A and B are shown apart, each in its own frame.
Chain A
Amino acid sequence: MRALIFAVRSLVRQPGRTALGIIGIAAVGALLFDMLLLSRGLVVSFRDLLDSVGFDVRVTATDSPLPGGIRLTDATGAAAQIARLPGVAEAVPMRTATGEVWQTGRPVIGLMLTGMDPGARRPWTLITGADLGPSLAPPDLVVNQSLMDEVGGALGSEVTLRTGCDSSRAALAPRTFRIVGIAQFPFDDEAQRTAVMTRTALREACGDDKDEADMLMVASSGGAGAAVAAIRAARPDLVPVTNEQIVARMQTQGFTYFRQISAVLSTITLLFGFLLITVLLTVSVNQRLAEIAALRALGFSRGRAAADVLLQGAMLVGAGGILALPLGFALSLWLDQILKAMPGIPASMHFFVFEPRALVLHAALLVTTALLASAYPMWLVARLPIATTLRNEVVG
């Protein structure tokens, strides 16, 4: 306790230097904290996004979990067969396409289209209006707010839509749809225009007699792993993947840049923090050599003198580290806002996501840095020759 008070007094005696040291460590610590949030932010956010949809398994024809690739055939039959499997609560076929809204005298509006069979779970949240119904004259359309704003009509109004179902097909004739609701789609980015209709309506709009789907969205009842095993056994020709597996794949491929930059910047900030604390403590010790030698002559042990240096380092890092948390949080909001301007990033995804492990890692890294940075000045203090130092100081 006395050592602690002594270290506090040593720091308070030089308030300017101490304050600058704490601010410097806080700035470095804030950057480190942000890099730790960034290192797993996209992965955590993406996993949350996938889970929020309500389906925990996706079944495709190939090992690509993204829509737009090779479609699976006899989708209705496959969905019915999978829905009957033990551990599966629901299986819903989903098909995607592109579309264009045609309005007289106005520019064409491009959009992403999804066709889904009706089910208990729907991967969108209805904001206003009604959800999709079975009507085909004209078919129902649920749109996102961005598309609704561009179309400019009211709920219940009709729009002329041309669908693009296959890149190798000629453009199809436009058809009329009725906008029945506005919904929020979890994977939309800020500017994306999205609409959803029933898969039957989409098939008709595509002029397609094939019962195809980009994927089957599956909700498990006894865990995603068991559902995947059951699907593999029943349909070895299909590829079921869990949300966790999709996240793991994205972690090694899609989000690797941000993990790398996070690792590089974390290393640099730690090195910077190490230098800062080492220089502060070393110069401080060098300026206090006479004082330390006098204390040793009065009976302070080597351990006590070294502990004083260590405690000063710990207090600088502790205060700076605590200050770094709100500073880092505020900084992460700013950086997140910058990165979310990237096209194609869903509006509900974040690059910087807080996890308790980030806090623990942040504290552990700062403590390790403080210990390493204090080692050299502690060694200087422990090896200080008392008589020689006092004589030199008096003669000097």
Chain B
Amino acid sequence: MIGRRAAIAALCAAVAALSSVASSAPSPAPDILVSRQLLESQQLQVGDVVSLSSDTSGANPRSFRIAGQYEPTPDPMRLGAVRLEVRMHLPDVVGLTAQSDPLDAESVDAINVVLANDDEARATVRRLMTAVPGTLAERTGNDERRAAPFVVLERFHLAIAIVTVIASSVFLLALMLMLVEERRATVGMLRLIGFRRSRILQHVLAEGVVIAITGALFGVVLSVVLEGGINRFFQWRYDTALVFVHITPGVALRSVTVAVPLGVAAIFASSWSLLRGEGISLTRR
């Protein structure tokens, strides 16, 4: 009922004891894959034969041939950690790490299971934990525990965004107040030659919408332009393939949805004193 896929991916933490041996002579050494970071830091090449040991002193080493390099799966929780890693076949890991205890050769850290029917995941987890006491079985998908740090970070970024929007709104309001001040005489003239308040209000709102939409679109374009630069900088800084900034249509739409009404509101609020004033007083004559 349960399809089972062998858990082959095993990491060897014996990097400290790694040393290059020879590269030319043919060897029966088993194949391993080496992370790009380890390959670069130790100046290794594909085809090299290296000695690995699970002992920090380098005791009891075994020879392996580097069959290829790989890029470690980006992991935000390991940001800043240098990924010095090796992947090898499970029997090789067991052979390298097993000690005198006969159980060592029979032990693995985890078994990855692929279910024929995803809907049975919860029931299967329950059955496994009941059938084999001391075993921890959990779903890999929809794992709230793993996603929790990123949910928290998302909340933090949202909070920062709220503060930034508040500061921007105040800035915008101050700017618009000054611009409106410059147009006090113009509005006064319009009132004196017969323009109604509602007509001027329409004009102000139309202008506000145009400015707000232009500003919001400029902001989206700027963020799209900066997206590549920011990603490249942090990918270089942390030596990772992680994507740090990703402007999706949803994010862009949300930004515009927040920015445009705020911009219009700022223009309307700053123009309020002009709309309420009498024409003659506005012209200051």
Number of B residues near A (Cβ < 8 Å) is 39
Residue of B nearest to A283 (CB): B178
Nearest-CB distance from B228 to chain A (Å)? Answer: 16
The residues of A that contact B160 with a CB separation of less than 8 Å are 31, 265, 335
The residues of A that contact B166 with a CB separation of less than 8 Å are 27
Whether B163 lies near A31 (C-beta < 8 A) is yes
Inter-chain CA distance A356–B104, complex, in Å, is 54
The residues of A that contact B173 with a CB separation of less than 8 Å are 20
The residues of A that contact B135 with a CB separation of less than 8 Å are 171
Whether A20 lies near B134 (C-beta < 8 A) is no
Which of the 9-residue segments B3-11, B45-53, B151-159, B248-256 touches chain A? B151-159
Asked if A17 is an interface residue, CB under 8 A from chain B, the answer is yes
Interface residues of A in 267-295 (CB under 8 A from B): 269, 272, 275-276, 279-280, 283-284, 287
Which of the 9-residue segments A77-85, A248-256, A297-305 touches chain B? A248-256
The residues of A that contact B179 with a CB separation of less than 8 Å are 283
Whether A17 lies near B134 (C-beta < 8 A) is no
Whether B56 lies near A70 (C-beta < 8 A) is yes
The residues of B that contact A334 with a CB separation of less than 8 Å are 159
Nearest-CB distance from A164 to chain B (Å)? Answer: 7
Whether A20 lies near B170 (C-beta < 8 A) is yes
Asked if A392 is an interface residue, CB under 8 A from chain B, the answer is no
Whether A279 lies near B56 (C-beta < 8 A) is no
The residues of A that contact B182 with a CB separation of less than 8 Å are 287
Whether B167 lies near A339 (C-beta < 8 A) is no
Whether B170 lies near A254 (C-beta < 8 A) is no
The residues of B that contact A169 with a CB separation of less than 8 Å are 103, 107
Interface residues of A in 235-269 (CB under 8 A from B): 252-254, 256-257, 260, 265, 269
Whether A253 lies near B156 (C-beta < 8 A) is no
Whether B181 lies near A287 (C-beta < 8 A) is yes
Inter-chain CA distance A28–B166, complex, in Å, is 9
Interface residues of A in 102-150 (CB under 8 A from B): none
The residues of B that contact A341 with a CB separation of less than 8 Å are 148, 152, 155
Asked if B164 is an interface residue, CB under 8 A from chain A, the answer is yes
The residues of B that contact A1 with a CB separation of less than 8 Å are none
The residues of A that contact B170 with a CB separation of less than 8 Å are 20, 23-24, 27
Number of A residues near B (Cβ < 8 Å) is 45
Whether A338 lies near B159 (C-beta < 8 A) is yes
The residues of A that contact B25 with a CB separation of less than 8 Å are none
Asked if A62 is an interface residue, CB under 8 A from chain B, the answer is yes
Inter-chain CA distance A279–B177, complex, in Å, is 12
Whether A168 lies near B104 (C-beta < 8 A) is yes
B149 contact from A62, A260, A343, Cβ within 8 A: A343
Whether A24 lies near B152 (C-beta < 8 A) is no
Inter-chain CA distance A280–B145, complex, in Å, is 48
Asked if A170 is an interface residue, CB under 8 A from chain B, the answer is yes
The residues of B that contact A335 with a CB separation of less than 8 Å are 156, 159-160
Asked if B81 is an interface residue, CB under 8 A from chain A, the answer is yes
Nearest-CB distance from A360 to chain B (Å)? Answer: 23
Whether A27 lies near B163 (C-beta < 8 A) is yes
The residues of B that contact A28 with a CB separation of less than 8 Å are 167
A21 contact from B103, B174, B234, B238, Cβ within 8 A: B174
Inter-chain CA distance A214–B149, complex, in Å, is 27
Nearest-CB distance from A332 to chain B (Å)? Answer: 11
Asked if B79 is an interface residue, CB under 8 A from chain A, the answer is yes
Asked if A159 is an interface residue, CB under 8 A from chain B, the answer is no
A342 contact from B152, B171, B178, B234, Cβ within 8 A: B152
Asked if A382 is an interface residue, CB under 8 A from chain B, the answer is no
The residues of A that contact B163 with a CB separation of less than 8 Å are 27, 30-31, 331
Asked if B80 is an interface residue, CB under 8 A from chain A, the answer is yes
- Sample 22 A-B pairs with CB under 8 A, ordered by A number: A17-B177, A21-B174, A27-B163, A30-B163, A169-B107, A171-B133, A254-B80, A257-B79, A272-B168, A272-B171, A275-B171, A276-B171, A279-B171, A280-B174, A283-B175, A283-B179, A338-B156, A338-B159, A341-B155, A342-B152, A343-B145, A343-B148
With A265-B160, A275-B171, A341-B155 known, 13 other A-B pairs at CB within 8 A are: A167-B107, A167-B109, A168-B103, A170-B134, A171-B133, A260-B234, A272-B167, A272-B168, A331-B163, A338-B159, A339-B152, A342-B148, A342-B149
Q: Which 4 A-B pairs have the closest CB atoms?
A: A171-B134, A27-B167, A20-B174, A168-B107
